[in-house]
Amino acid sequence: MLTLFRYNWQVRDEWFGWCRNLSLEELKAERTGGAGGILQTLFHIVDVEYSWVCVIEGKEVKDPLYSDYGTLEKVKVLSDGYRIELEEFFQKEWPIQGDEQVSPPWMEGLFKKEEILHHIIAHEIHHIGQLSVWARELNREPVSANLLGRTLEGIRG
């Protein structure tokens, strides 16, 4: 499962690089689906991943405001900072006690930690698919979503 987190991080970094060729107006343009536009969707991916891992860790969930991260560089810095914490968590806590249940503060219910990890991975892959559609709508080649041929062991943002 850690390989899939590393895959998501690597693809996300490639999307950050891809986005450098877009204007801030294009990054913020409201689009169909996703969490608004390209920049807001990247922010959403980062925020959701970190929030769910905080729930797994039993830590307070931080709720950064999108309005505080209105540029690609700021969202990338947020992503990189959170990733450092997540890598440290995964290195010391892997494998996760998957059957243990936790409850997020933003919704009712108990969820197994393993189920949450699966959700985090699927959530990002879903939104990466949306970014790919938007790239095509902009007549640009999207980032490759191919897992095959990637080096994923021990990568850091």
Q: How many angstroms separate the CA atoms of 31 and 83, rounded?
A: 27
Question: Which CATH number is 21's domain given?
Answer: 1.20.120.450
Predicted local distance difference test score (pLDDT) of residue 154: 59
Question: Into how many domains does the chain fold?
Answer: 1
Phi then psi for residue 93, to 5 deg, are -110, 0
Arithmetic mean of pLDDT, 11-24: 97
- Choose between 156 and 30: higher pLDDT: 30
Q: Is the pLDDT of residue 156 over 90?
A: no
Q: Give 77-131 pLDDT, tens digit per residue.
A: 999 999 999 988 888 877 777 789 999 999 999 999 999 999 999 999 999 999 9
Predicted local distance difference test score (pLDDT) of residue 34: 74
In a domain, 101, yes or no: yes
In a domain, 156, yes or no: no
Amino acid at position 123, single letter: H
Hunting for tokens 């899939």 — which residue is that? 4
In a domain, 18, yes or no: yes
In a domain, 119, yes or no: yes
In a domain, 145, yes or no: no
What range does the domain containing 50 cover? 2-137
pTM greater than 0.85 (yes/no): yes
